Amino acid sequence: MATCFSSSSSWLKLQFIIVVFLFAVISSISSPVNGCFTSIFSFGDSVSDTGNLIEISNLEIGKIPHSAFPPNGRTFFHRPTGRFCDGRLVIDFLAEALGLPFLPPYYRYKNAISEKFENGVNFAVGGAGALNSSFPGIYNPITVISLVDEVNSFKQFLNLRTDFKQLLRNSLIVMGEIGGNDYSHAFKQGKSIEDVRNFVPPVVDSITSSINELIELGAVTFLVPGNFPIGCSASYLTLFQGSDKDQYDPLTGCLTWLNQFSQHHNQLLRKELEKIRNLHPDINIVYGDYYSTTMRIYNSPNKFGFKETLKACCGTGGVYNYNLSRACGYLPATQCCNDPSSYMSWDGIHYTEAVNRLIANVVFEELMNSIHSLNNLCPALTINKLRMIYPKSEM
């Protein structure tokens, strides 16, 4: 038998509780999402660069990167922003999902820290490697900035903050993707697969050393992406065009030995991350499985709405619409597809916004599922709202 309230006072109290509850729900849905992390700090290369390489290159005449020119940015920003993409990057989607603004590039605004960096900052630089520019055996023709330099810039930034311990406790650190350029520069300079494999341990060591350094400073939550399937990249497919037929995956058209190399990097990275977890059980380290996520798309492109997987949307012709010496954005030779959302590759190296969105969806779920403390950081209603905006991918 249902219980009835015996007095008008009890009924009024119930009404008040209902009103307060509904107000809380409505406020959660209509207000900006916040409370999970107060800020994001990002390190990496062109996969995450939101404008740093342009600022650094402006200091060197004749070295303005092609990300500074159209058609880069055409899909979302409708202008070039320094992103090597037609629109948003994975880091942009993660910021949106967590209710934070897009991360400003550090090297553009480093003299205006108090105004620009309250919700985090991006240290990623296009062309940057995990290894120092003086590392023997690799020449970086794009920039002298490495992951070590990015972390040092971050420490300089922290030195200006009296609250940096609290800041780091409430921040998400995105460490990468980084290391891809160390390998690509070596391959393009004619080094053999055996030689390049020798670079994997020091690359992974640079990543994990940077993480340990930030842990010592007080950081507690990390997202560490692995490498992409580089055997599916138009740049590598063009570089090694004419390889024996049995070196290609018959389903995807990707070069299998290069994808195996990516997996080798990822396996070693995951092994080293597990060591850090064992040493620091209170630290949250989430591995971002970029490889598996994108391979699911390559294996079933139609399922995800893609018509072209290997050929670049923006380029200068050829089998894969890619030419290293005439990259997307360098007019007038650039050819651009009509619908970037139907292409996986934007410029032969980087993904389109459509792919970045799918990757971000998966990464966000990995964050939510892997870090149990997020249930304390993020109210349940907030997490539910985020999952409504960025639904769990079928991937």
Give, to the nearest 10 degrees, the angle between helix 90-97 and helix 353-370. 50
User: What distance in Å separates the CA atoms of residue 378 and residue 384, rounded to the nearest whole number?
Assistant: 10
Q: Helix, strand, coil proportions of the chain in percent (round to 5)?
A: 45, 10, 45
Helix axes 353-370, 290-299, angle to 10 degrees: 130
Task: Report which of 148, 98, 80, 150 is spatially closest to residue 368, judged by C-alpha positions.
Answer: 98
Alpha helices for 4-120 (secondary structure H): 8-30, 52-57, 90-97, 106-109, 113-116
Classify residue 343 by its DSSP letter: B
> Is the Cα dihedral 386, 390, 392, 395 positive or negative?
negative
Catalytic residue among 39, 42, 46, 171: 46
Nearest to 282 by CA among 348, 175, 372: 372
Residue 347: active-site member: yes
Question: Helix (H, G, I), strand (E, B), or coil: what is residue 4?
Answer: coil
- Burial string for 314-330 (b: 16+ CB within 10 Å, else e) reads bbbebebbbbeebbbbe
Shortest CA distance to 322 belongs to which of 330, 313, 340, 331? 313
Q: Enumerate residues 6+ apart whose C-beta is below 8 A from 233.
A: 345, 348, 349
In angstroms, rounded to a whole number, what is the distance separating the alpha carbons of residues 100 and 392? 20
Instruction: Name the residues annotated as catalytic.
Output: 46, 347, 350
